[in-house]
């Protein structure tokens, strides 16, 4: 069904990292706001001075003892604030050591670059056909972005310098991240033709004006792809087979002509 979001392991991992970062950011902001406002009110100083005193307290750099309300703020920051600071630091360190933070920032960078694209091609599926299309478009200087669900393939494409998003191309959210609404065309070259049909329907739903190039495995599915909205449908295996048969026929014709050619006359019978 068009519009249904599928929660793949990669998408769940990305969402988990994003939520963790949001929680850490909220905790840091609340902690800084509490200390800044608390010191500012209790000491009668500016917010800037209150923030500086908060940082000094959390860094254990402020050795003086406060009195009154400022004393309460200082104690709570020392008891709970320092704990929160270490919790935030260790959580970030854990994300870095596991490589999850680096992977998340790579994806964010790809999404930012994709949103800047216009009149580009979205190549869905980086198999043998998809990677060749990417290389040819790159040689011609035509803007494109690749979507593939295989992590190892996505990393290999990224090393080539191509813009790539790891994930399932059938997800509407992922196609929107690839800026499908401003894309010129989408190239559906997933090995399974049924997925290319679904991808075509989803793409035309998100951008009715987009041109769809699709790959088919069998001739019986070509009509379905056209009905779904694909303008151009190609069967790479059939094209390869026809080209190979063409070479075979040329060889056969050449051999036939050689066999039909009469033998040359002996030198003494040839006219001078």
**φ, ψ of residue 145 in degrees (nearest 5):** -140, 145
Q: Return the minimum-mean-pLDDT range out of 46-50, 164-168, 263-267.
A: 263-267
Residue whose pair of structure tokens reads 């793949």 in the numeric block: 8
Task: Give the per-residue pLDDT at 256.
Answer: 65
Which strand (E) or helix (H) includes residue 113?
Answer: helix 100-115
Share of the chain above pLDDT 70, in %: 81
C-alpha 144/C-alpha 149 separation (Å) is 17
Which residues are CB-contacts of 267 (< 8 A; sequence separation ≥ 6)? none
SS3 string of 197-263? Answer: HHHHHHHHHHCCCCEEEEECCCHHHHHHHHHHCCCEEECHHHHHHHHHHHHHHHHHHHHHHHHHCCC
**φ, ψ of residue 165 in degrees (nearest 5):** -120, 125
Average pLDDT of the residues of the chain? 81
Say yes or no to pLDDT of 7 above 70: no
Say yes or no to pLDDT of 100 above 80: no
C-alpha 131/C-alpha 189 separation (Å) is 10
CB 214 within 8 A of CB 184: no
Question: Widest CA span of the chain, in angstroms?
Answer: 130
How does pLDDT run across 209-218, given as a tens digit for each residue?
Answer: 999 999 988 8
CB 204 within 8 A of CB 122: no
Task: Give the per-residue pLDDT at 263.
Answer: 57
Quote the tokens at residue 231: 């303008």
Strands (E), the chain: 121-124, 144-148, 164-166, 185-188, 211-215, 232-234
C-alpha 194/C-alpha 201 separation (Å) is 11
How does pLDDT run across 37-80, given as a tens digit for each residue?
Answer: 988 888 888 988 889 888 888 887 766 666 778 888 888 888 88
CB 188 within 8 A of CB 212: yes
Which residues are CB-contacts of 150 (< 8 A; sequence separation ≥ 6)? 126, 166
CB 88 within 8 A of CB 28: yes
Say yes or no to pLDDT of 5 above 50: no
Q: Name all domains of the chain by residue range, CATH numbers in brackets.
A: 9-98 (1.10.287.70), 117-238 (3.40.50.720)
| Separation in Å, CA 85 to CA 22, 88, 123 | 15, 5, 44
C-alpha 272/C-alpha 270 separation (Å) is 6
């Amino acid at each position: 069904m068009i519009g249904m979001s599928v929660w793949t392991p990669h998408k769940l991992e990305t969402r988990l990292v994003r939520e963790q970062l949001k929680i850490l950011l909220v905790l840091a902001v609340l902690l800084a706001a509490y200390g800044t406002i608390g010191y500012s009110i209790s000491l009668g100083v500016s917010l800037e001075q209150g923030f500086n005193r908060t940082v000094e307290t959390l860094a254990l750099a402020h050795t003086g003892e406060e009195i009154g309300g400022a004393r309460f703020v200082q104690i709570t920051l020392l008891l709970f604030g320092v704990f929160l600071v270490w919790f935030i630091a260790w959580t970030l360190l854990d994300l870095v050591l596991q490589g999850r933070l680096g992977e998340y920032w790579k994806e964010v960078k790809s999404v930012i670059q994709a949103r800047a694209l216009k009149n580009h091609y979205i190549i869905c599926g980086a198999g043998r056909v998809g990677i060749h299309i990417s290389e040819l478009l790159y040689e011609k200087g035509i803007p494109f972005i690749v979507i593939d669900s295989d992590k190892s393939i996505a990393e290999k494409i990224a090393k080539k310098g191509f813009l790539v998003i790891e994930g399932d191309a059938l997800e509407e959210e992922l196609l929107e991240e690839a800026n499908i609404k401003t894309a010129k065309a989408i190239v559906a070259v997933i090995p399974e033709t049924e997925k290319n049909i679904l991808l075509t329907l989803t793409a035309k739903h998100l951008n009715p004006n987009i041109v769809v190039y699709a790959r088919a495995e069998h001739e019986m599915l070509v009509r379905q792809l056209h009905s779904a909205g694909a303008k151009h449908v190609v069967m790479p295996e059939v094209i390869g087979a026809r080209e190979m048969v063409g070479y075979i026929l040329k060889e056969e014709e050449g051999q036939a002509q050689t066999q039909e050619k009469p033998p040359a006359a002996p030198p003494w019978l040839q006219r001078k």
